[in-house]
């Protein structure tokens, strides 16, 4: 069963562009061109996530979100104009799951959509079996990893850590989140275990193939970036 995303956006060009990209990614897409229609569809249709523009006719995005949150916790990603920081804060305070600043890179929006859906505990059906960055390939179903065609042997936790990072490419994932995803919510062991696994992964990938796959973001966590 496909995941349905509602796009609430009055700018036809952007709406159309988002629709094409999301359909291409395998999502079902519904569209609304003003706040009132967006609210109505979000409340009365089977929708899994809403991409909600802030500047909308009829009802603005914040108002749509406020009314929606009275009886729905459907995931919402807000689109704000340029860098209106106050808008972002208002959006997150108002119960948005995430926000994107226009203009945005579509890959980043797609990554955030995946992350939000995943956080909300859904969408196994959209999980890709093949993950990759550069010459690194991961086959999730076969549990195989290779670099430039050469097989790499990983332990279960190394594999899971690499998988989480690859599934959220270009997004910095905190150590806490990685710990939860890799070791489980009830993990009671060493808190620096993620750093240890990152070291193991680097010794099996970076050191062997002379690359830098996992980036450390100081004070935050780790990230795998698409090659620049």
Q: 196: how many CB neighbours lie within 10 A of its CB? A: 11
Smallest distance, Ca ion to C-beta of residue 55, A: 4
Smallest distance, Ca ion to C-beta of residue 60, A: 9
Three-class SS of residue 51?
A: strand
Smallest distance, Ca ion to C-beta of residue 51, A: 12
Q: Is residue 63 close enough to count as binding Ca ion by CB under 5 A?
A: no
Binding to Ca ion in span 86-115, by CB under 5 A = none
Q: How many residues bind Ca ion (CB under 5 A)?
A: 3
Q: Residue 45 and residue 48: Cα distance in Å, rounded?
A: 9
Contact partners, residue 185, CB within 8 Å, separation at least 6? none
Closer to Ca ion at the Cβ: 10 or 195? Answer: 10
Residue pair 214/224 in contact by the 8 Å Cβ criterion:
yes
Closer to Ca ion at the Cβ: 104 or 200? Answer: 104
Stretch that binds Ca ion, among 31-39, 50-58, 107-115, 212-220 (CB under 5 A): 50-58
Q: Residue 174 and residue 92: Cα distance in Å, rounded?
A: 19
Determine which residue in the list 37, 48, 53, 97 makes contact with Ca ion, applying CB under 5 A: 53
- For residue 23, the surrounding DSSP H or E stretch is helix 12-24
Helices (H), 50-204: 61-69, 85-93, 106-119, 156-167, 175-183, 193-204
Q: Is residue 14 close enough to count as binding Ca ion by CB under 5 A?
A: no
Determine which residue in the list 4, 10, 41, 98 makes contact with Ca ion, applying CB under 5 A: 10
Stretch that binds Ca ion, among 4-12, 126-134, 164-172, 198-206 (CB under 5 A): 4-12
Closest by CA to 127, choosing from 138, 136, 135, is 138
- For residue 59, the surrounding DSSP H or E stretch is none
Q: Is 96 exposed, middle or buried (0-12, 13-18, 19+ CB in 10 A)?
A: buried
Smallest distance, Ca ion to C-beta of residue 57, A: 8
Smallest distance, Ca ion to C-beta of residue 62, A: 13
Q: Is residue 55 close enough to count as binding Ca ion by CB under 5 A?
A: yes
Closer to Ca ion at the Cβ: 60 or 177? Answer: 60
Closest CB to Ca ion: residue number: 55
Question: What residues line the site for Ca ion (CB under 5 A)?
Answer: 10, 53, 55
């Amino acid at each position: 069963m496909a995941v349905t995303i509602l796009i609430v956006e009055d700018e036809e060009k952007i709406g159309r562009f988002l629709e094409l990209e999301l359909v291409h990614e395998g999502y079902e897409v519904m569209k609304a061109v003003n706040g009132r229609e967006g609210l109505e569809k979000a409340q009365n249709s089977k929708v899994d996530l809403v991409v909600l523009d802030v500047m909308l006719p009829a009802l603005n995005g914040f108002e749509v979100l406020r009314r929606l949150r009275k009886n729905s916790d459907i995931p919402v990603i807000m689109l704000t104009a340029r860098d209106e920081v106050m808008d972002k804060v208002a959006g997150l305070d108002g119960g948005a799951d995430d926000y994107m600043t226009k203009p945005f890179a579509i890959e980043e929006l797609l990554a955030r959509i995946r992350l939000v859906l995943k956080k909300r505990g859904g969408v196994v059906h959209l999980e890709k079996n093949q993950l990759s960055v550069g010459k690194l390939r991961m086959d999730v179903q076969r549990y195989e990893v290779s670099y430039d065609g050469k097989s790499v042997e990983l332990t279960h936790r190394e594999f899971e850590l690499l998988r989480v990072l690859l599934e959220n490419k270009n997004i910095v994932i905190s150590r806490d989140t990685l710990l939860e995803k890799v070791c489980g919510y009830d993990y009671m062991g060493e808190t620096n275990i993620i750093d240890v696994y990152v070291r193991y992964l680097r010794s099996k990938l970076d050191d062997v193939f002379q690359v830098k796959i996992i980036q450390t973001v100081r004070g935050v966590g780790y990230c795998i970036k698409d090659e620049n």
